[in-house]
Amino acid sequence: MTRLLPLFPLDAVLLPETHLPFHVFEPRYRAMLADALAGEGLIGLHTLDPDGAPFPDGRPALRAFGCAGEVVEHEALPDGRSNIVLRGAFRYRIAAERTGRAYRLAEAEEAPVHPLAPGREGGPGRRDLRRLLARGVEKLAVSVGRSEASHLPGTLSDEGLVNEAAARLGLGPEERYALLEMDALADRYAWVLDHVRSLQTRVDLLAPFRREEIDPRWN
């Protein structure tokens, strides 16, 4: 399915079913927000491609994929600025850019990912991956004293669960975009699980050096 999306180029990556807050202050993006709210309430959050050649008119190149965000919270400030929260709706690929607005506008094709499959030949299947991921995130959060962030809602879709887990790991834009690029949910789960295990290993290695466990004679 193709739809017309206003584009908000930022050094931030939104993932489907996760949330990101933004402050909108530039006049062109105020106009973009007003147009979005007058329509479907969708904005395409897109990152620039640092290695891509700019367009002839000087517009920076964009990466292949973006995520459409639905405006779920909107606070209009007296001076015309706004605070908004976007909820990731779907991944898309730009089919073509349109002109005629102060902001960038594109025909965007929805780009769904390949779903998780039942376990085959003894390998982990959908239920196993969801369970492994939820347990891994819970253990890691408790280990670093963030028990309030340990619970991943079971009501999330398969894509939402792995994306929410990634959002809680504090990944940078490059890592989040690498996840957004992956076409198969199984690859996303494997990638995030590896990341969780790597972080847990580091936490376990550092555990003996926590302040309360250091020999008082060292102080």
**What pLDDT does 15 receive?**
95
> Could you write out the DSSP letters of every residue in 24-48?
E-SHHHHHHHHHHHHTT-EEEEE-B
User: Which contacts (CB < 8 Å, 24+ apart) does range 171-176 have?
Assistant: 171/195, 173/11, 173/12, 173/13, 173/47, 176/13, 176/15
pLDDT > 90: percent of the chain: 50
Give me the residue spans of the domains in the chain: 2-110, 126-208
* pTM for the model: 0.82
Instruction: Express each pLDDT in 44-61 by its tens digit.
Output: 999 999 888 788 777 888
What is the band of 138 on the pLDDT scale with cuts at 50, 70, 90?
Answer: confident
CATH topology of domain 2-110: 2.30.130
**What pLDDT does 213 receive?**
46
Residue type (1 letter), 191? W
Distance CA 216, CA 188 (A): 44
Average pLDDT, the chain: 83
**What pLDDT does 71 receive?**
97
Instruction: Work out the average pLDDT over 64-87.
Output: 96
pLDDT of 128 over the 80 cut: no
Instruction: Work out the average pLDDT over 125-142.
Output: 72
Distance CA 99, CA 112 (A): 26
Instruction: Work out the average pLDDT over 165-169.
Output: 83
Least confident of 55-59, 152-156, 188-192, 196-200: 152-156
Q: Of 16, 46, 18, 48, whose CA–CA distance to 32 is shortest?
A: 46
Distance CA 209, CA 213 (A): 6
